[in-house]
Amino acid sequence: MRRRKHLALLAEQERDEMVEPEETTIERAQEAAMARKAVDALAERDRLALLMREEGLDYNEIAEALELSPGSVGTTLSRARRRLVESYEALQKSREEREKNAAS
């Protein structure tokens, strides 16, 4: 009985230690490059609005810089985020298909 508990504890410990391998430096660099491509694919106003917001500018500062009304900055940022996600996901899908085709 005691041996069984010990074996169960060892098995559980082994499962806990089986963690996904960390991304390699190359994989991180590929992810970063894809993120840059996704940002670059945005329309200029969307890209600038996102980058300004990331830098900490408030809606009024972004509105002034982009010659928008402060009320439209939120809409612009929302649209830019959605397009960024769509662009990134498309790039990711394209990369996965290339890797799949290369493996076959």
In DSSP notation, the chain reads: -HHHHHHHHHHHHHHHH--PPPPPHHHHHHHHHHHHHHHHTS-HHHHHHHHHHHTT--HHHHHHHHT--HHHHHHHHHHHHHHHHHHHHHHHHHHHHHHHHHH-
Does 16 map to a domain? Answer: no
Does 94 map to a domain? Answer: yes
Q: How far is CA 53 from the centre of its chain?
A: 17
Does 68 map to a domain? Answer: yes
Instruction: State the residue range of the domain holding 38.
Output: 24-103
Residue 61 sits in a domain of what CATH number? 1.10.10.10
Does 6 map to a domain? Answer: no
pLDDT at 70 (0 to 100): 92
The model's pLDDT over 32-80, given as tens digits with 9 standing for 90+, comes to: 999 999 999 999 999 999 999 999 999 999 999 999 999 999 999 999 9
Does 92 map to a domain? Answer: yes
pTM for the full predicted model? 0.70
Count of structural domains within the chain:
1
